[in-house]
Amino acid sequence: MTILKSYFNTPYNTAPFSKIKTEDYLPAFKTAIKKAKSEIDDIVKNSESPTFKNTIEALDYSGEELDRLSSIFFNLNSAETNDAIQNIAQEVSPLLSEFSNDITLNKDLFKRVKAVYNSKSDLDLSTEQETLLDKKYKGFSRNGANLSEDKKERLRAIDKESSQLKLKFGEHILAETNKYKLHLTNPTQVSGLPEGAKEAAKQLAESKGKKGWLITLDYPSYIPFMTYGDNRELREKLSKAFGSKGFNNDDLDNQDIVLKIAKLRFERAQLLGYKTHAHFVLEERMAETPEKVNTFLNELLDKAKPAAKDEFNNLENFAKDLDGIEQLQKWDSAYYSEKLKQKLFSLDDEQLKPYFKLENVIDGAFIVAEKLFGLKFEEIDTIDKYHDDVLTYKVTDTDDELVSVFYADFFPRAGKRNGAWMTSYKPQMIKNGDNHRPHVSIVCNFTKPTKSKPSLLTFNEVTTLFHEFGHALHGMLANTTYPSLSGTSVFWDFVELPSQILENWCYEEETLKLFATHYETGEVIPMELIEKIKASATFHEGMQTLRQLSFGLLDMSWHGVDPSNISNVKSYETKAFGNTSLYPDVKENCMSTAFAHIFQGGYSSGYYSYKWAEVLDADAFEYFKEEGIFNKTVADKFKAYVLSQGGTENPMTLYKKFRGQKPKPEALLRRAGLLK
């Protein structure tokens, strides 16, 4: 079957999307799992004594076809899904969970791994090999290898149920997003909206056979309305619809799912001998313990809260003076913040958007990557894509050697979840002397071109593109031997460093002059606007920091405690937000029921890592600023010690090799304007 291959007879061994039928997936998964099991059996039944090569290395290279198949399928389930794919995902996820448990709970396999681990002092291993051995051993010991048989069976049941619940959680959010349409027919209802947003809403209405304008919960539709829509009642309506996803006591409700996931995670951690899920997760993070995470978040909260309160009071007074608003609500936040920003800095996104045509911003990211890391991007049409919107590139180095294949998917559609992310269709590894290069993808939800305008990005969308492209560079420049240590396979609170550091270039004149040109006139962005971008960079930074900290603290409140007695998701969440809330609570809304990062994605007990990585990226970028933002020596060190190394060594060791010192939190506070 075409789909069941780790190597396809295609250009650059790319996925043959157009040749794969949906009905191929399930039988392919069953066959791939069977083959992967056979590879595990070969390791277990090897009559030779366990060695690093015949056990640890063989284990890491096993299941290659299953991994490739999973990458293709689950990436499509996020970016181009449908009912059939979602049904297959519900059927396949328990099979994969069971297979994973078959490995970690395999006594004979663990015996071999343990034998190698216990003799590691006698082995002449490289740093990467030592890291792999440690990771493999912990993969067993941390996931039930030492449990009794009855507890192993319970662990299997927990993992099976959890995998299905996570999928169902995400399906509900996508369905909620897709079903909501705010149909407006009176021009006064779209008062304040930029012409581009109005045109997009009109085109969407026309595509559905309606007159007027359609506003949806997709970010490119939702955010402009919340930022510019003059009609406060409609902003409230839209805000409540957005904030109530998974919280409507209907067949798409996620409240029970949230409670079940939290309780299953806690039970699993307890089975394995950990106090809570957070204790289990953080053992393999830079932060190490929930106590350290909570201390980190609360120390930042102490710094940010006074600034946030001042900013909120100023915003509330501004709204009162401008429109007589007595009580600022959540649906007023973006609207009055934008108006205040315009007043303070004479700057708004509509002024900037003409200079950020999507194609130019993509080119800008490529130019930055070339100047820093010697990469060249060539758009190609010789490889398959899963949707016509997807752009495909061949990435090469200064010697014209292939570095990576790169996919970019920028516009919202019904089969794609909201947000932005980076992923991989094929990992990098060195096997049998061959350096297998990765296939990397970024997925975003930007404003689509209209009949009269190309896709013009807000400045926030520009930084989002650079953020995801930073993750992509981490994947592309991977240069490790073993697939499980390659690219973004690093401690979760280190993974955001490459993405967040790249955002810094968006604020620099030297960068903006390379690509920020007016889409009609070709004029380079005026220095005056660049100065305004820099001046407004810390606008409402206190409130933004408080918001991020509230998400991190909510995550820790779900996963750093015993959730057994929690029965009401909303009231529990309200309590968790107690120390970070500025706006009045909205009883119809609940964040947890749509908090996909922690209940669907991989950020449970890890949301703090965005702020953690901000400390790293602010400190790292100060190094670039000291030497020059395109300084080749600093860039080479960042590539050598961060981007290429994946998870081969402790991240703090790698960071210190790059920076020459531990990161200093003061750099973040300086950048945020919170250091008095």
* Residue 643 in domain: yes
Same domain flag for 482 and 617: yes
pLDDT in tens, 547-569: 999 999 999 999 999 999 999 99
Taking the C-alpha atoms of residue 266 and residue 264, their distance in angstroms, rounded to an integer, is 5
Beta-strand runs (E) in 564-668: none
Taking the C-alpha atoms of residue 425 and residue 616, their distance in angstroms, rounded to an integer, is 28
Pairing mode, strands 421-426 and 439-443: antiparallel
Distances (CA, A) of 442 to 3, 425, 512: 22, 11, 22
| Tokens of residue 223, six digits | 């955010």
Instruction: Give the residue from 228, 243, 258 where a domain finishes.
Output: 243
The pLDDT-based confidence of 383 (bands split at 50, 70, 90) is very high
**In the predicted model, what is the mean pLDDT of the chain?**
96
| Tokens of residue 68, six digits | 């490739």
Same domain flag for 411 and 460: yes
Taking the C-alpha atoms of residue 55 and residue 49, their distance in angstroms, rounded to an integer, is 9
Taking the C-alpha atoms of residue 162 and residue 294, their distance in angstroms, rounded to an integer, is 26
- Helix %, strand %, coil % of the chain (to 5): 60, 5, 35
Taking the C-alpha atoms of residue 658 and residue 634, their distance in angstroms, rounded to an integer, is 8
Q: What's the burial of 209, exposed, middle or buried (CB within 10 Å: 0-12/13-18/19+)?
A: exposed
pLDDT in tens, 60-72: 999 999 999 999 9
* Residue 290 in domain: no
Q: Domain holding 668: CATH number? A: 1.10.1370.40
* Residue 409 in domain: yes
Note the pLDDT of residue 291.
97
* Residue 600 in domain: no
% of the chain beyond a pLDDT of 70: 99
> Domain of 38?
11-146
Q: Count the Cβ atoms, other than its own, within 10 Å of residue 518.
A: 15
Same domain flag for 637 and 509: yes
Same domain flag for 53 and 196: no
Same domain flag for 71 and 17: yes
Report CA dihedral (332, 334, 337, 341) to the nearest 10 degrees.
-150
* Residue 593 in domain: no
Give yes or no for a contact between 381 and 392, defined as CB atoms under 8 angstroms apart. Answer: yes
* Residue 340 in domain: no
Q: Domain holding 82: CATH number? A: 1.20.1050.40
Same domain flag for 400 and 497: yes
Taking the C-alpha atoms of residue 177 and residue 180, their distance in angstroms, rounded to an integer, is 6
pLDDT in tens, 217-264: 999 999 999 999 999 999 999 999 999 999 999 999 999 999 999 999
Taking the C-alpha atoms of residue 99 and residue 9, their distance in angstroms, rounded to an integer, is 28
Taking the C-alpha atoms of residue 83 and residue 167, their distance in angstroms, rounded to an integer, is 13
Instruction: Give the residue from 146, 172, 203 where a domain finishes.
Output: 146
The pLDDT-based confidence of 673 (bands split at 50, 70, 90) is confident
Please give the order of strands across the beta sheet that includes 439-443: 376-379, 391-396, 402-409, 439-443, 421-426
Pairing mode, strands 439-443 and 402-409: parallel
Mean of pLDDT values over 48-74: 97
pLDDT in tens, 602-612: 999 999 999 99
Positive or negative, the Cα torsion across 130, 136, 139, 145?
Answer: negative
Same domain flag for 516 and 471: yes
Same domain flag for 83 and 221: no
* Residue 122 in domain: yes
Q: What's the burial of 194, exposed, middle or buried (CB within 10 Å: 0-12/13-18/19+)?
A: middle
Same domain flag for 78 and 191: no
- Which residues sit opposite 423 in a β-bridge? 441
Query: Which ranges constitute the DSSP H helices of 254-374?
Result: 255-271, 277-282, 290-323, 333-345, 349-352, 358-373
Mean of pLDDT values over 161-186: 97
Give yes or no for a contact between 136 and 72, defined as CB atoms under 8 angstroms apart. Answer: no
Same domain flag for 428 and 491: yes
Same domain flag for 121 and 193: no
Q: Which of 47, 108, 102, 77 is nearest to 170 (CA)?
A: 77
Total structural domains within the chain: 3
Give yes or no for a contact between 494 and 393, defined as CB atoms under 8 angstroms apart. Answer: no
Taking the C-alpha atoms of residue 131 and residue 118, their distance in angstroms, rounded to an integer, is 14
Specify whether 91 is catalytic.
Answer: no
Note the pLDDT of residue 159.
96
Note the pLDDT of residue 672.
86
Does residue 373 have a pLDDT over 60?
Answer: yes
pLDDT in tens, 475-532: 999 999 999 999 999 998 899 999 999 999 999 999 999 999 999 999 999 999 999 9
Taking the C-alpha atoms of residue 128 and residue 135, their distance in angstroms, rounded to an integer, is 10
Note the pLDDT of residue 1.
40
Q: Which of 316, 468, 503, 508 is catalytic?
A: 468
Residue 157's φ and ψ, nearest 5 degrees, are -65, -40
* Residue 668 in domain: yes
Q: 310: number of CA atoms within 13 Å, CB side?
A: 10
